[in-house]
């Protein structure tokens, strides 16, 4: 069952396309739940259970995605957000805290929709409703992939608890 359908998804064939502008990065896009980060002007940010990525160059992200064949979606968003703003928001976090934050938390703050957004599909609906989704690209996904699958808040929490346990070992 899908929770957010993309109107069009293009194969990413020009890595240069990700060097400018703002993109939501949906890593493991075919999993429940996926992992979410962002790219701004070629720099990647992501909150994880074992820390965070800040200002990771896009070429390093793309190399990891390519080597591991990670199914990924890049959603270009029309936003006036600056690198400074992204830095300030990610500075508020050290890592994901189960029950308190998820990989989506900094992005929800960035788009000031804290009261209504708890899942990626809700953020995408918020951005789509305001006409801010521009172009969607995919990597390592089949032509049949057209949507983010439905999942619950409980499934997010279960995944975070699992990942926290794995990272502690």
Residue-wise DSSP of 73-98: EEEEE-----HHHHHHHHTT-SS--T
Domain borders along the chain are: 2-168
When pLDDT is cut at 50, 70 and 90, the band that residue 136 belongs to is very high
Beta strands in the chain (DSSP E): 2-5, 10-11, 22-27, 35-40, 43-48, 51-57, 72-77, 133-139, 147-149
Region 127-154 average pLDDT? 88
- Would the pLDDT of 21 be above 60? yes
Instruction: State what percent of residues in the chain have pLDDT above 90.
Output: 51
Tens-place pLDDT, residues 76-130: 999 999 999 999 999 999 988 877 888 999 999 998 776 677 788 888 998 999 9
- Would the pLDDT of 75 be above 90? yes
The neighbour count for residue 54, using CB atoms within 10 Å, is 15
pTM exceeding 0.85: yes
The neighbour count for residue 25, using CB atoms within 10 Å, is 24
Residue 157 or residue 144, greater confidence:
144
């Amino acid at each position: 069952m899908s929770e957010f359908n993309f109107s069009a998804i293009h194969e990413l064939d020009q890595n240069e396309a990700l060097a400018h502008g703002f993109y939501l990065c949906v890593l493991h896009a075919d999993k429940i739940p996926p992992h979410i980060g962002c790219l701004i002007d070629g720099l990647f940010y992501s909150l994880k259970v074992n820390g965070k990525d800040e200002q990771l160059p896009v070429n390093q992200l793309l190399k990891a995605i390519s080597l591991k064949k990670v199914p990924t979606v890049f959603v270009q968003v029309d936003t006036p957000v600056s690198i400074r703003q992204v830095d300030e928001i990610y500075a508020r976090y050290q890592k994901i805290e189960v029950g308190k934050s998820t990989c989506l938390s900094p992005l929800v703050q960035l788009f000031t929709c804290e009261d209504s957004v708890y899942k990626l599909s809700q953020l995408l609906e918020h951005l789509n409703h305001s006409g801010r989704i521009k172009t969607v690209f995919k990597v390592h996904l089949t032509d049949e992939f057209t949507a983010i699958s439905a999942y619950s808040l409980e499934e997010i929490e279960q995944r975070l608890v699992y990942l926290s346990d794995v990272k502690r070992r």
